[in-house]
Structure 1
Amino acid sequence: QHVQYGVAEDIEKAIRNLQAVGEPVAAVILEPIQGEAGVIIPPDGYLTAVRKICDETGVALIFDEIQTGMGRTGTMWRCEYEGVTPDIMTFGKAFGGGILPITGIICRPKMWVQDLIDNPWLLGSPTFGGNPLCCAAALATIRYMLKNDIPGVCKKKGEILKAGLQSLADKYPDIIQEVRGTGLMLAVEFHTTDLGYQTSKGLFARRVLTAGTLVNAKTIRFEPTAVISDQDMKDVIQRMDEALADTRAAMKK
C-alpha cells in the first residue's frame, strides 16, 4: 500500500487500519530522499517519526539508500542526518566506485533469523553475487571514501553547485520553479515539462548530460561524481545559463 511521502501520520494510519482487520504488515519501505520522484526531501523529523511508529506497531523499517548512500548527500548514509537506524538498508550505485556494478543490504541482527540461513529460497541466490572483482572495487571505494572524507567533500561541493543553480533560478524565475537537494543530489524543477525538455536539449548540445526522473518529467537531476572540480561546476553553471537563455528566447517565438 502506498501513502503520501513525508507524512508520518499517513503511515501510522495505514498500518493500524490493516492490523485492525487482521492483515499483517511486514515492513515500511521508503527512501530517505526520493530520487526518481525528483529529489524530494521529507520534513525534518520524518524518519524519526516513522522509526517510532514502526517500533510501536512491531513493523520492520527498510531504507532504500541506493541513490542517497555512500556519501552523496553529505553523510555516509542519509538516515544519519536524523540519527535513525533502520532494520534493513539497501545500497548500491556508488558502492562500486563508478567502475563495477555491486549492491548489498545491511540488516540488524534481529532480522538475520535462522529461517533465512536454513532456507536458501528465502535468502535468494544471485547468479553473479559476490563477484570477486566487484567486491574488490567496493572495498577500495570504502577505503578511499573514509580516508578522503567523501561525504564531507560532497557536502562542500554540493553547497557550491546548489548556490550556482539557485543563482540561475533567481535569474530565470519564468523558467525555473525550484532548486532543491542536498550534497551532490540536486534537482532543478521547471514550471512545465516543455521548459525542462528545451533546457535539457540545450545542455546536451553544450556537452552537459542531465538525468531526468521517472515520475516527474518537469525535473532534471544534477548528481555529479564526488571528484568533480570547482572549474567543472563553474562550466556547468555557465553552460546552463546559456541553455536557459536559449529556452527563454524560444518561449518568445
Structure 2
Amino acid sequence: MPTTETALASAEAHSAHNYHPLPVVVASADGAWMTDVEGRRYLDMLAGYSALNFGHGNRRLIDAAKAQLERVTLTSRAFHHDRFADFCAGLADLCGMEMVLPMNTGAEAVETAVKTARKWGYRVKGVPDGMAKIIVAAGNFHGRTTTIVSFSTDSEARADFGPYTPGFEIVPYGDLTALGEAMTENTVAVLMEPIQGEAGVLVPPPGYLAGVREMTRERNVLFIADEIQSGLGRTGRTFACEHEGVVPDMYVLGKALGGGVVPVSAVVSSAAVLGVFRAGEHGSTFGGNPLACAVALEVIAMLRTGEFQQRATELGDHLHHELGLLAGGGPVTAVRGRGLWAGVDIAPALGTGREISEKLMDRGVLVKDTHGSTIRIAPPLVITKEDLDWGLDQLRGVLRG
C-alpha cells in the first residue's frame, strides 16, 4: 500500500488537475468514518456530496451488490433483465410518478431532462422547432457537460469551454417576479435545485418553490426539480420539494440512488412527458444495468421505512441549533441549510474555506469548501449524535484558533 506522500505525488504527476482534493488518501471506510493509508481515522462530514447518504459500506447495499455480482451485471438495453421492471416501478412509485428513464451520472440525468423537456415542448406543447427555451437559476450547479456549463454562472466551470449551447435563460434564484417576466410561449421548462448545494447550500425564500409550481402549471411549462444532492432523505424528507408541499413535473435523481456503491441516476416523470421518447432517440449502454438496479432497489426499500428521513430531521435540527450558536458576528457569519445539510460561511479574517477544511482534516474531520469562504457539512445520515457532536467540537476548536 502506498504512503500518503507517494500516493499524492503519483496523483499529481499522472492525473489531470480538474480537482483540488484535500491531501488525505483514503484506504477504507465504514459508516461515517474513513481510514487513510497510514491508519488515521477521519469523520466523513461530506458523504460524497450526498452520494453516501446511507454511509460507507452499508451492509444492505453491499449484500445486494454482491448477490447481483454473482448473477449478471450488464445486458445493455438491447435486452430486458429481471431487475429492470421492478426498479422502474419502485422508483416511479416512490416519486409518485409513472415512468423512469435510467442513466448513470447526475450530469447524464440533467442532460436527459433537458432533451425530454425540449422534445415535450415540440411534440406536445407545440413550440416551433428549434425555439424551445429552458429557464434556470443563477448560482446553479447541474453538472459540467458542455451543454450544462452553457447555463452556469460559475466562471470556473464555464470559462474556455465555448461555444456554448443556446436555449437557456438565467434568472435570479428565489425571485418569482424575474421568473414570470422571463417566461414566454416558447418556454418549455424551469429547471431548479430546490436547495442550491454547490452555491453554498442556499435555501430559497419560503413560498418560492410553491410559486414556481403554480406559475409553471398556469403557463403549461414543466417544473423540473434537480434533487440529485437534495433528494433521497438528505433534508429530512424523501425530496426537498416536499417541505413546501410541491410535486414537480419531473425529478432528476442521482448520487444517493446508487448508495455510494455504483453510479445510478434517473429522470422520473409522467407518461405524458417521458412518453415522448421513441426507440433510438436516447439511451445509455450502462443505464439501468442489473447491478445498478439491484442496489437502487435496496435504496428504495430503505427509504420506504422513513428511518433515514427521520434521522436527517432530528440530527439536522441538532446540527443547525449548534451551528446557529456560532453565527452572528463572530467567526461564523452565516449558516444555511435544511436537515443534515449546512453551508457555513467563515469570517474572512479567520481564513478561507479551504484553510478551515485543512485545519479540520488535521483534527480528523473531512469537509469541503465552496466559493471561497464557505464550508459544507453533509455527513452520512447514519452518523450518530455522539460522532456529530465530536465533529462539531472539532469545528469549534478550529474557529477558536
TM-score, with normalisation over the residues of structure 2? 0.55
- Structure 2, unaligned stretches of length 5 or more? 1-168
Which amino acid counterpart does residue 205 of structure 1 have in structure 2?
A: D
Identity %: 37
| 1:237 aligned onto 2:392 | yes
In the TM superposition, residue 148 of structure 1 has moved relative to its aligned partner by: 4.9
| 1:166 aligned onto 2:317 | no
In the TM superposition, residue 99 of structure 1 has moved relative to its aligned partner by: 2.0
| Correspondence 1:84-95 to 2 at 5 A | 84-95=246-257
2:172 aligned residue: 4
Give CA deviations for 1:56-93 in whole Å, capped at 9, x if unaligned: 22211100000110011011011111111111110111
1:184 aligned residue: 340
Q: Which has the higher contact order (CA 8 A, sep 6+)?
A: 2
* Counterparts in 2 of 1:148 and 1:119: CA distance versus 1, 3 Å: closer
* Counterparts in 2 of 1:134 and 1:14: CA distance versus 1, 3 Å: same
| Correspondence 1:84-123 to 2 at 5 A | 84-113=246-275, 115-116=276-277, 118-121=278-281
* Counterparts in 2 of 1:54 and 1:148: CA distance versus 1, 3 Å: closer
Q: Distance in 2 between matches of 1:148 and 1:108?
A: 24
Q: Which moved more, 1:47-56 or 1:139-148?
A: 139-148
In the TM superposition, residue 139 of structure 1 has moved relative to its aligned partner by: 0.9
If each structure's helix is expressed as a fraction of its own residues, which one has the higher value?
1
- Kindly tell me the number of residue pairs found equivalent between the two proteins: 232
| Correspondence 1:13-52 to 2 at 5 A | 13-16=181-184, 19=185, 24-52=186-214
Q: Distance in 1 between matches of 2:220 and 2:323?
A: 43
Q: Distance in 1 between matches of 2:255 and 2:247?
A: 21
Q: Which moved more, 1:48-57 or 1:145-154?
A: 145-154
Which amino acid counterpart does residue 372 of structure 2 have in structure 1?
A: A
Which amino acid counterpart does residue 130 of structure 1 have in structure 2?
A: G
Q: Distance in 1 between matches of 2:300 and 2:274?
A: 24
- Structure 1, unaligned stretches of length 5 or more? 247-253
Q: Distance in 2 between matches of 1:239 and 1:13?
A: 47
In the TM superposition, residue 218 of structure 1 has moved relative to its aligned partner by: 1.6
Question: Which aligned runs of 4 or more in structure 1 are off by greater than 6 angstroms?
Answer: none
SS class of match (2:257): helix
| Correspondence 1:69-88 to 2 at 5 A | 69-88=231-250
> How big is the alpha-carbon RMSD for the aligned residues of Structure 1 and Structure 2?
1.6
In the TM superposition, residue 162 of structure 1 has moved relative to its aligned partner by: 1.7
* Counterparts in 2 of 1:148 and 1:46: CA distance versus 1, 3 Å: closer
Give CA deviations for 1:27-51 in whole Å, capped at 9, x if unaligned: 1100111111111111111111111
